[in-house]
Amino acid sequence: METRSLELPLRGPGAEPRTALVEIGVLEPLDRLKRAGSAFGIGLAGAAVAVLIPIVHFVLVPSALLLGLGIGIRRLGQGKTFRGGAGSCPYCGAQQQFTLLGRFHLPKAVYCASCQRELYLDEGPATISPPRSPT
């Protein structure tokens, strides 16, 4: 997986946008397959444990299998994921690290740790740095 950095506008309603630095991971097909397989494996393990529980296994086994399959298929389609971000709040100016998880899609809602306001990483003029090797 290679990591790329993007500069995206960090917006808040009624405030002047600031720039945030966001790192994304670009997943290779093999990485995507590993992530999907692990999700399905967890669902399969949950189903194996649920088989031993009387009566409840009629619902838990199919649910665990379907949930593992659904999450696996969803992870297979994720080409980019958030790795982290940093920026300053447009309202209070506090410099902070943002915990960003999941697939890469914009706009992404984040919250200021200082003033507790909702902020948005938005599309806009973005600059892309050259790819970096994983560390």
* pTM of the complete model: 0.70
- Quick one: 84 and 18 in the same domain? yes
Note whether residue 43 is domain-resident: yes
pLDDT in tens, 36-90: 999 999 999 999 999 999 988 899 999 999 999 999 999 999 999 999 899 999 9
- Quick one: 23 and 39 in the same domain? no
Q: Which residues contact 10 (CB under 8 A, 6 or more apart)?
A: 17, 18, 19, 20, 87, 88, 89, 90, 110, 119, 120, 121, 122
- Quick one: 40 and 18 in the same domain? no
Computed over every residue of the chain, the mean pLDDT equals 88
Note whether residue 135 is domain-resident: no
Structural domain containing residue 112: 2-27+79-128
CA-CA distance, 7 to 85, in Å (whole number)?
Answer: 10
- Quick one: 83 and 120 in the same domain? yes
Number of domains in the chain: 2
